[in-house]
């Protein structure tokens, strides 16, 4: 499946899932919609990489749906300060963290907290990359996502899966 076709399918699925998160139905408002779309796209990309042959389309669809559901939950609950602290912890973990060492964050205003655990650094296509796991606790319930980030030429980190 080509990258363009996969991207079009993921955007269509993400948009469809986001439509389910409006304030009249499932609820959550704009944060839930953003979380749904971001989660669906990330889940679809991961599913696409896991699947092979004819099962790749199914893996992409399943990944998009599961990612959208998880993204909706996180997006509904997290406020701007939560996201700022979570992203700052991701940066600290990727930039300075030892492989396997937790980098925590907390928002005393909302009570939400989380931890990022970076994996070992490696090189891919000339870029420094790291895998990581980010667990966010909302009302004491963990939501865990894993991904890979690579350093861009400008020094920032970009999640690639």
Q: What is the DSSP letter of 155?
A: S
pLDDT digits (tens, 9 = 90+) for 7-37: 555 565 555 555 554 443 344 555 555 566 6
Residue 27 is predicted with a pLDDT of 45
Task: Provide φ and ψ at 34, rounded to 5°.
Answer: -65, -45
pLDDT digits (tens, 9 = 90+) for 95-107: 999 999 999 999 9
pLDDT band at 122 (very low <50, low <70, confident <90, very high): very high
d(CA 54, CA 6): 14
CB atoms within 10 A of CB 68: 28
pLDDT band at 161 (very low <50, low <70, confident <90, very high): confident
State how far the alpha carbon of 40 is from the alpha carbons of 93, 109, 156, in Å: 24, 28, 24
Question: Domains plus CATH for the chain?
Answer: 3-77 (no CATH), 80-159 (3.10.600)
CA angle in degrees (0–180, nearest 5) for 27-33-34: 145
Buried b (16+ CB within 10 A) or exposed e, 121-132: eeeeeeeebbbb
11: helix, strand or coil: helix
């Amino acid at each position: 499946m080509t990258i363009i076709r996969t991207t079009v399918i993921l955007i269509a699925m993400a948009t469809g899932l986001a439509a389910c998160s409006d304030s009249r139905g499932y609820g959550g408002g704009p944060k839930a919609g953003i979380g749904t779309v971001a989660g669906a796209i990330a889940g679809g990309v991961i599913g696409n990489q896991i699947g092979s042959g004819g099962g790749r389309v199914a893996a992409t669809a399943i990944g998009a749906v599961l990612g959208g559901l998880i993204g909706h939950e996180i997006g509904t609950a997290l406020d701007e300060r939560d996201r700022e602290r979570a992203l700052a912890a991701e940066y600290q973990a990727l930039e300075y963290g030892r492989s396997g060492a937790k980098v925590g964050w907390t928002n005393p205003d909302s009570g939400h907290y989380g931890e990022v655990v970076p994996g070992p650094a490696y090189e891919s296509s000339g870029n420094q990359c790291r895998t990581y796991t980010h667990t966010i606790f909302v009302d004491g319930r963990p939501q865990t996502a894993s991904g890979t980030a690579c350093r861009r030429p400008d020094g920032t980190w970009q999640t690639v899966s």
